[in-house]
Amino acid sequence: MEFGLSEDQRLIEQSLRGHLADAVDLDLIRRLAADKGGFDADLWAGLCELGLPGLLVAEAHGGTGLGMLEAAVAAEALGYSAAPTPFVGACVMAPLAVSLAGGEEQRRHWLPAIAAGEVRLAVGAGALAGATGTAELSLSGAHLSGRLTGLLDGGGASHALVYLADGRAAIVALDADGVALSARPSLDRTRPLADLDLDDAEAVLLDGADDAPAVARRVLDAGRLMLAADTLGAGQCMIDQAVDYAGQRVQFERVIASYQAVKHMCAEMVANLEPCRSLVWYAAHVQDLDDEAERRVLACLAKAHLAEVGREVARTATEVHGGMGFTDLMGLHFWFKRISYDRQVLGGPERCRQDAARAQGWLAA
C-alpha cells in the first residue's frame, strides 16, 4: 500500500532515463530542430527497443500491457531530456484509441504494428479539444474529406488517426490517394504540428466502441495527461539547469546562487513544481480505473495546472540564466518552447478547467 512508484516503475524510469541521457544530447536536439521534422529514425529505433510504442498495447497484441502511470513516467523522462520524438499521439493516444474503440479484427491488425513501431500514427483531436484551429471533416461512406489542423506527431508518421466531431475515430494511410499531410514548423522545433487535407480519402473507421464519444474523451484525457507529465519533466530540467548555472555565474564578485533573490526564485519554482509530480501520478493512476468523471477531472486539472506552473517555471528559470537564457548558446529555450507547446495543444488551461468543471457537474446545464 503506497503512494509512489513501485520498484518495477522505478526500473522502467531508470532505464528510459539512462537511455535518453545517452541518446539525446543538445547536438541531437539542435540537429532535429534545424530539420524541423520531429523524427529521428535512430532515436525512434532505440525507443522501440525499450518498448515505448507498445507500452500500452496488450501483451496479446505484442505490447507490454503496462498502464498510464508507466506512460506518465515515460512522458516525464522524455520532457526532461526534451527528446525530439513522437510520443503523446503515436505511443499513447493512438494505441489507446485502437485498443478501446477498434473492433477485434482492427485491434489484431493495428496494435502489433504500432507496438513494433512500424506503424506510426499522427493524431488529430482538434474537433474535441476546443482547439482554435480548423477541424472540418466530413464522412461519406468510408471516405473522408476536409481539413484538420494541428495534428500531433506528424513527423515520420505513416498513418493518421483523426477524430470526427461526433467522437468517432478513423485511420487514414498517409500514402493513400487524396491524403496530404504537411508539417508546419511549430514554436517547438522538435515537435511540428501537421495539417491534414483529405479529398475523398479511404478511411478505416474504428468500429468496436459501444460509446464512441466516451472513448474519444478518454483518449483525449490520456493525451492531456501526457502533456502534463511532459511539462513536469521539462520544468524539472529547467530548474536543475537554473540551480546549476546560478552556482557558476559570478556577478558583483559573488556567484549569483548566493543572492537571496535568486535563491528564492529557485525555491518558488521547486515549491510549485514538486507537488505536481504527485498530481500527475495520481491522475495517471485513475486513468486506468472505471470512473469516467474522475479520469476526466484529474487529467484536465493536471494539464491545466502543469500549464500554469510550467509557464512560471519556464520564465523564471530563463530569468535566472540572465542573458544566457535568452540566447541560443545553452539551448535552454528548447525546454521553454516545449512547455509552451504542451500548454497550447489539446486545449489550453481555461478550456481544460471548464471540462473538469463540467465533469463534476459544476457547470450550469
Partner 1 sequence: MDLTYSTKHQELQAEIRAFIEAEGHRSPKFGGGRNRPDQQALDWQGLLLERGYFARTVPTEYGGHGAEPDVLETAIIADEFSRAGISPGLLDVGNLIVVPSLLDLGSEAQCARWVRPTLTGETIWCIGNSEPGSGSDMANAQTKAVAVGDDFVINGQKIWTSGAHYADMMFLLCRTEAEAPKHKGLSYLLVPMDTDGIEVRPLVTMTERPEFNETFLTDVRVPMDQIVMGRGDGWKVAIASLKHERVMLGDPNKQLQRLHGIREMMRETVIDGVAVMDLPEYRDRLLRLQAEVLAAKFHNMRLLTLHDRGEEPGIPGLIQKLYGTTLNHKLSALAIDVLGEAGLPYEPHEFGENDPATAWQIDYMYDIGLIIGGGTSQIQKNIISERGLGMPREPKAVVPPARS
Q: Cα separation of 90 and 75, whole Å?
A: 12
Residue with smaller CB distance to partner 1, 45 or 187: 187
Pick the closest to residue 217 from 58, 91, 359 (CA basis): 359
- Residues 58-97 as b or e (16 or more Cβ within 10 Å = b): eeebbbbbbebbbbbbbbbbbbbbbbbbbbbbbbbbbbbb
> Among 185-193, 254-262, 299-307, 332-340, which window interacts with a copy of itself (CB under 8 A)?
254-262
Residue with smaller CB distance to a copy of itself, 59 or 268: 268
Residue type, 182: S
Instruction: Give me the least distance between CB of 140 and partner 1, in Å please.
Output: 24
Residue 228 binds which of partner 1, a copy of itself, none (CB < 5-8 A, kind-dependent) = none
Beta bridge partners of 255: 250
Instruction: Give me the least distance between CB of 363 and a copy of itself, in Å please.
Output: 18
Q: Cα separation of 164 and 156, whole Å?
A: 23
Name the grid cell of 361: 457537474
Residue 315 binds which of a copy of itself, partner 1, none (CB < 5-8 A, kind-dependent) = partner 1
In sign, the C-alpha dihedral spanning 265, 267, 273, 275 is negative
Q: For residue 200, report the phi and psi dihedrals to the nearest 5 degrees.
A: 55, 45
Residue 104 binds which of partner 1, a copy of itself, none (CB < 5-8 A, kind-dependent) = none
> Among 9-17, 37-45, 57-65, 256-264, which window interacts with a copy of itself (CB under 8 A)?
256-264
Is residue 270 close enough to count as binding a copy of itself by CB under 8 A?
no
**By CB under 8 A, how many residues form the interface with a copy of itself?**
4
Out of 259, 351, 357, 358, name the contact with a copy of itself by CB under 8 A: 259
> Among 220-228, 259-267, 298-306, 317-325, which window interacts with a copy of itself (CB under 8 A)?
259-267
> Among 32-40, 230-238, 255-263, 280-288, which window interacts with a copy of itself (CB under 8 A)?
255-263
Name the grid cell of 360: 463534476
Is residue 264 close enough to count as binding a copy of itself by CB under 8 A?
yes
Is residue 364 close enough to count as binding a copy of itself by CB under 8 A?
no
Is residue 365 close enough to count as binding a copy of itself by CB under 8 A?
no
Identify whether the C-beta of residue 297 lies closer than 8 Å to the C-beta of residue 359. Answer: yes
Pick the closest to residue 301 from 261, 247, 256, 347 (CA basis): 347
Helix axes 212-246, 68-80, angle to 10 degrees: 40
Q: What's the chain's length in residues?
A: 365
Is residue 248 close enough to count as binding a copy of itself by CB under 8 A?
no
Instruction: Give me the least distance between CB of 360 and partner 1, in Å please.
Output: 9
Instruction: Give me the least distance between CB of 263 and a copy of itself, in Å please.
Output: 9
Instruction: Give me the least distance between CB of 305 and a copy of itself, in Å please.
Output: 22
Residue 41 binds which of partner 1, a copy of itself, none (CB < 5-8 A, kind-dependent) = none
CA of 337: how far to CAs of 230, 274, 288, 312, 342, in Å? Answer: 12, 21, 30, 13, 9
Residue 18 binds which of partner 1, a copy of itself, none (CB < 5-8 A, kind-dependent) = none
Identify whether the C-beta of residue 19 lies closer than 8 Å to the C-beta of residue 50. Answer: yes
Residue with smaller CB distance to partner 1, 106 or 149: 149
Residue 353 binds which of partner 1, a copy of itself, none (CB < 5-8 A, kind-dependent) = partner 1
Name the grid cell of 136: 472540418
Is residue 1 close enough to count as binding a copy of itself by CB under 8 A?
no
Beta bridge partners of 172: 160
Beta bridge partners of 173: 159
Identify whether the C-beta of residue 338 lies closer than 8 Å to the C-beta of residue 236. Answer: no
Out of 260, 323, 361, 364, name the contact with a copy of itself by CB under 8 A: 260
Out of 261, 323, 364, 365, name the contact with a copy of itself by CB under 8 A: 261
Dihedral (C-alpha) 204, 210, 211, 214: value to the nearest 10 degrees?
A: -90
Is residue 282 close enough to count as binding a copy of itself by CB under 8 A?
no
Q: Is 312 helix (H, G, I), strand (E, B) or coil?
A: helix
Residue 308 binds which of partner 1, a copy of itself, none (CB < 5-8 A, kind-dependent) = partner 1
Binding site for a copy of itself (CB under 8 A): 259-261, 264
